[in-house]
C-alpha cells in the first residue's frame, strides 16, 4: 500500500501563495482584461478620422478622448490624449459627431472597500475550504478540515436515539448482572456515597466477536437514561503525531460537560496494546494516545458520573497500566452463549419476525453450539429471507433448519453436477461418518446426512446434535470424535479400495483434537499432565505455540500419529462389522440425497422407513 505522507510545508504557506495570486490578478490581469478592446492612437489620427467623417461618438474624460468609429465591422474603441484645442468642439459639431463629457464619479469608500478587499477575501476563503476538504478526503478524515484536527469523532446518543435496554440483551445474564451496579449508581449515586463506596471508573467487556459487547454498553446507557458516547479505538490514531492525544482530551472534555454519561471505546486494543520496554520499534503516536488516556482516566472525578466502558477480543495484548484498579477496575466476560442463552437470543430476534406456531427454537439452539449472538441473529434473518423467497408470509421450522445449514456450510449448489461415481463415493463417505458415530457410546446423535454440495466447498456432510450442552470433553469422547472423523476415509478404503481428497477436512479436525489431547489436555500416557503448548488469542481462533524442544516436538508428533492410527483402525473395524448396513443406508441416501437422523436410525435398527 502506498504510504500517504503529510504535507512538508504548513497550510499558511499555501494560503499565502493563493492570496498573492489573487492580489496580482486584481492588480494587473483584471484591468487588462477589461480594456482588451481599447486601442491607443495619436491625436492627429483622431483629427483625420473626424475630418473624414469616420467617427460616430466621442466621450471626453479628464485626460483622454474615447471615440467609436462608424464602421460597423470595427469593434474596437479608440483612445487618444487630450491636447489644448479650442476648435475641437466646432469640428465635432461640423462632422455630426455625437459627443459628451463624462462627469467623473467615484465609488463610495464602502463600495471600494468591498470590491477591493472583501470580494478577494471571500474568494480566498472559498478556495481554502475547498482545498481543506480535498485534503481531508485524501487523509481519510471524512472531509474534516485541518481546523477540526484534535476534535473527537465520538458519536453521541441521547436516550431516545439509543432505545436499547437490558430487555434487548439475552444470553448474557452474568454480564448484565455485573453492569447493573453501574446503572444503579447512575440512578442513585447517594446510596453509594453514604457508605463510602466508589463506583468503578471503568469496565472492560471481554469476549469473542459477535457476542454483544457493544449492545451491552448501549443497554447500560439506555437503562441509565444518560448520554452515550461511542467511539472506536482506531478513530484516535491519526497519521499526524499528537492528534490521538488531542482527541482523547476532547472526548473527556465533552463527557465531563455532559456528565453523568457513559463513554464506550470499542476495540480498545487498537490504542491500548502493551508498550515496548525499550521504546524501539513501537508506535509513538499510539503510545502518546495511550498515555493521554491513562492520564485522563486518573484525572476525572468519578463522582460526576462519567463511566468508561471498553470492549476488546484481545485482552492479553492490553497494557497492564490500563487494567490496574482505578482505571478499568472491572473485567466483564461476555462469552459465547450456552444452550439456554442461545434459545433466549433466538426468542429475542424471533419477536421481530412472523413465526409459525410450531417452531421449535430449542432444537435450533441445540443445533448451533458455539454460535454467537450475531450468528443467531443472522440465522433468524436467513430464515425470514428463505420464507419470502418461497412465497410464504411466516417462517416455518424448515426455514430455520435450512438457515442453520446456510450459516454452517453455505447455500446449496443446485447447479453443481456430480458424476454417478463421485456421488456414490460421497454417499458412502458420509454414511461412514454416521455409522461409526452411531456404533460408539460417547458421540452425539446423528441429526441429518446430505450429499448436496454447498458453497463452502463441502460436497456433503453429516450433522450431529448434542442433546445437552457439553462444557467438558472426556478422553473417551475425544477418541470417539476422532474415530468418527476417520469413518469417511475408512468407508472409501473398504468399498473402493482407494482414497480421495474428500477427507482433508476430517483429517485436519482429527489431528487438531489428537494434538490437543497430547499437548493441552494431559490425555497422553507418555507425557502425562505436562503442559506442552499455550493458546494465544483465545477469542480469535486460539492459535497455539509449542513450549518444547525440537526433540520433544518430534515425540509429540509420534504420539499424535499413534492416536490417529488407533482411531482409524477402529473406524475400519466398525464398518467391516456393519458392512451390510453401510450398503443399505448408502443406497437409501443415494436415492434421496438428504435423510434425517430418524430415517438413518430406522434403517440401522431395522424399522421400516416412511
Q: Is 295 annotated as a binding residue?
A: no
Q: Is 211 annotated as a binding residue?
A: yes
Strands (E), 228-275: 228-232, 261-266
Bridge partners, residue 544, by sequence: 535
How buried is 505 (Cβ within 10 angstroms: 0-12 exposed, 13-18 middle, 19+ buried)?
Answer: middle
Bridge partners, residue 232, by sequence: 266
> If we measure between CA atoms, which residue out of 278, 287, 303 comes closest to residue 198?
303
> If we measure between CA atoms, which residue out of 440, 378, 444 comes closest to residue 407?
378
Query: Which residues contact residue 531 at a Cβ distance below 8 angstroms, ignoring those fewer than 6 apart?
Result: 519, 520, 547
> If we measure between CA atoms, which residue out of 94, 69, 71, 72 comes closest to residue 80?
69
Q: Cell numbers at residue 491, please?
A: 468407508
Concatenate the DSSP letters of all residues of 413-467 into one string: -TT----HHHHHHHHHHHHHHHHHHHTSSSSPPEEEEE---BTTS-S-EEEE--S
Q: Catalytic site residue 430?
A: yes
Q: Is 429 annotated as a binding residue?
A: yes
Q: Is 187 annotated as a binding residue?
A: no
> If we measure between CA atoms, which residue out of 451, 551, 531, 540 comes closest to residue 491?
451
Q: Is 210 annotated as a binding residue?
A: yes
Q: Is 329 annotated as a binding residue?
A: no
3-class SS of residue 296: helix
Q: Is 214 annotated as a binding residue?
A: yes
Q: Is 85 annotated as a binding residue?
A: no
Bridge partners, residue 69, by sequence: 55
**End-to-end CA, the chain:** 61
3-class SS of residue 543: strand
Bridge partners, residue 311, by sequence: 205
Catalytic site residue from 285, 430, 493, 599? 430
Q: Is 445 annotated as a binding residue?
A: no
Which residue, chain included where needed, has cell 489573487? Answer: 22
The secondary element (H helix, E strand) that includes residue 68 is strand 64-69
The answer to whether the peptide bond before residue 260 is cis (omega within 30 degrees of 0) is: yes
Alpha-carbon distance 575 to 491, whole Å? 7
Residues at the binding site are 207-214, 429, 433, 506
Residues at the binding site for ATP are 207-214
Tell me which residues are annotated as active site: 430
Amino acid at each position: 500500500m502506498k504510504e500517504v505522507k503529510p504535507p512538508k510545508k504548513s497550510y499558511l504557506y499555501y494560503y499565502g501563495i493563493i492570496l498573492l495570486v489573487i492580489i496580482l490578478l486584481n492588480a494587473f490581469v483584471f484591468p487588462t482584461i477589461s480594456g482588451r478592446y481599447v486601442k491607443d492612437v495619436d491625436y492627429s489620427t483622431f483629427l483625420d478620422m473626424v475630418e473624414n467623417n469616420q467617427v460616430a461618438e466621442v466621450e471626453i474624460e479628464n485626460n483622454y478622448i474615447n471615440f467609436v468609429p462608424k464602421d460597423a465591422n470595427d469593434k474596437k474603441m479608440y483612445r487618444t490624449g487630450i491636447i489644448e484645442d479650442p476648435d475641437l468642439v466646432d469640428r465635432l459639431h461640423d462632422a455630426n459627431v455625437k459627443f459628451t463629457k463624462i462627469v467623473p464619479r467615484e465609488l463610495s469608500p464602502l463600495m471600494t472597500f468591498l470590491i477591493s478587499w472583501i470580494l478577494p477575501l471571500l474568494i480566498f476563503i472559498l478556495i481554502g475550504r475547498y482545498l481543506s476538504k480535498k485534503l481531508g478526503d485524501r487523509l481519510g478524515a471524512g472531509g474534516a478540515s485541518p481546523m477540526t484536527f484534535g476534535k473527537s469523532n465520538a458519536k453521541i446518543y441521547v436516550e431516545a436515539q439509543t432505545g436499547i435496554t437490558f430487555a434487548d440483551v439475552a444470553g448474557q445474564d452474568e454480564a448484565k448482572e455485573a453492569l447493573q451496579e453501574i446503572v444503579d449508581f447512575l440512578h442513585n449515586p447517594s446510596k453509594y456515597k453514604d457508605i463510602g463506596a466508589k463506583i468503578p471508573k471503568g469496565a472492560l467487556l471481554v469476549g469473542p466477536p459477535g457476542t454483544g459487547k457493544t449492545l451491552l454498553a448501549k443497554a447500560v446507557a439506555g437503562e441509565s437514561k444518560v448520554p452515550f458516547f461511542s467511539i472506536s479505538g482506531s478513530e484516535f490514531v491519526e497519521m499526524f503525531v499528537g492528534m490521538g492525544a488531542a482527541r482523547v482530551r476532547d472526548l473527556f472534555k465533552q463527557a465531563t460537560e455532559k456528565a453523568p454519561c457513559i463513554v464506550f471505546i470499542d476495540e480498545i486494543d487498537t490504542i491500548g496494546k502493551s508498550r515496548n520496554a525499550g521504546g524501539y520499534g513501537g508506535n509513538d503516536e499510539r503510545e502518546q494516545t495511550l498515555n493521554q488516556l491513562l492520564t485522563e482516566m486518573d484525572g476525572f472525578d468519578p463522582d460526576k458520573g462519567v463511566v468508561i466502558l471498553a470492549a476488546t477480543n484481545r485482552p492479553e495484548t492490553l497494557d497492564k497500566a490500563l487494567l490496574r484498579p482505578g482505571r478499568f477496575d472491572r473485567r466483564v466476560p461476555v462469552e459465547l452463549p450456552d444452550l439456554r442463552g442461545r434459545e433466549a437470543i433466538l426468542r429475542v430476534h424471533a419477536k421481530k419476525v412472523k413465526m409459525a406456531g410450531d417452531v421449535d427454537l430449542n432444537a435450533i439452539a441445540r443445533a448451533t453450539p458455539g454460535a454467537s449472538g450475531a450468528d443467531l441473529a443472522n440465522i433468524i434473518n436467513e430464515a425470514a429471507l428463505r420464507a419470502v423467497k418461497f412465497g410464504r408470509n411466516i417462517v416455518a421450522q424448515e426455514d430455520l433448519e435450512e438457515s442453520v445449514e446456510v450459516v454452517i456450510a453455505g447455500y446449496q449448489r443446485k447447479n453443481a453436477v456430480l458424476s454417478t461415481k463421485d456421488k456414490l463415493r460421497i454417499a458412502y463417505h458420509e454414511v461412514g461418518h454416521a455409522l461409526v458415530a452411531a456404533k460408539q457410546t460417547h458421540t452425539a446423535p446423528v441429526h441429518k446426512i446430505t450429499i448436496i454440495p454447498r458453497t463452502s466447498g463441502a460436497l456433503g456432510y453429516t450433522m450431529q446434535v448434542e442433546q445437552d450442552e457439553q462444557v467438558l470433553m472426556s478422553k473417551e469422547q475425544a477418541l470417539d470424535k476422532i474415530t468418527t472423523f476417520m469413518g469417511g476415509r475408512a468407508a472409501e478404503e473398504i468399498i473402493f479400495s482407494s482414497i480421495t481428497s474428500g477427507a482433508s477436512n476430517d483429517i485436519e479436525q482429527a489431528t487438531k483434537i489428537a494434538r490437543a489431547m497430547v499437548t493441552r489436555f494431559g490425555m497422553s500416557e507418555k507425557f502425562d499432565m505436562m503442559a506442552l503448548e499455550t493458546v494465544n488469542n483465545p477469542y480469535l481462533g486460539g492459535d497455539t505455540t509449542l513450549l518444547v524442544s525440537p526433540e520433544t516436538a518430534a515425540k509429540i508428533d509420534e504420539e499424535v500419529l499413534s492416536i490417529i492410527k488407533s482411531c482409524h483402525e477402529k473406524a475400519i473395524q466398525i464398518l467391516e462389522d456393519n458392512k451390510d448396513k453401510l450398503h443399505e443406508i448408502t443406497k437409501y441416501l443415494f436415492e434421496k440425497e438428504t435423510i434425517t437422523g430418524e430415517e438413518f436410525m430406522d434403517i440401522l435398527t431395522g424399522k421400516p422407513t416412511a
